[in-house]
Structure 1
């Protein structure tokens, strides 16, 4: 059974505050009191909260994450390309998003 990640929404519910207040507390926004910031950060640490890079990217409107789109990853050429891309991304510590038109078509209709 997979464990669901701790989200801002969960932290806000437990603390009885808004998601916005939790988000601002974690980024040390001056509009949030020191007491609230401490409570939020303390709970976030205890519960193992980790910001979602995907959520942040959508919020900013820019992922800065390289992607690879190939017609079919089963073909030898694309497998080799994908292996090299993955190796480089691991080397420099960045994620890589991969997709194919087949996957995109399936996701589009969900």
Structure 2
């Protein structure tokens, strides 16, 4: 995003705020790019399931220990997968919140 998109260039310059707006926009653009690259990987407590998700909750990777198919019935396996995905989503939300806190600190 460019300050000219706000059509405030002359007004901000007159107030001496154009550099501040540019700094804020630059920080926000960097933040957006950083968010898009964040992933979270979670391993189930029994170490048989590994899930990696992206910032939008998209599953990027799903790995199973080969023995999982012998050890668990389909319903238990489904429940374990969902629990691991839920843990990954919770971890992602915490990671995003921390990044927002960092952005707020940079902008203050």
Question: Aligning the two structures, in what range does the TM-score lie when normalised by the shorter sequence?
Answer: under 0.3
TM-score, structure 1 normalization: 0.23
Quick one: higher RCO (CA 8 Å, sep 6+), 1 or 2?
2
Between structures 1 and 2, the one with greater strand share: 2
Structure number with greater Rg is 2
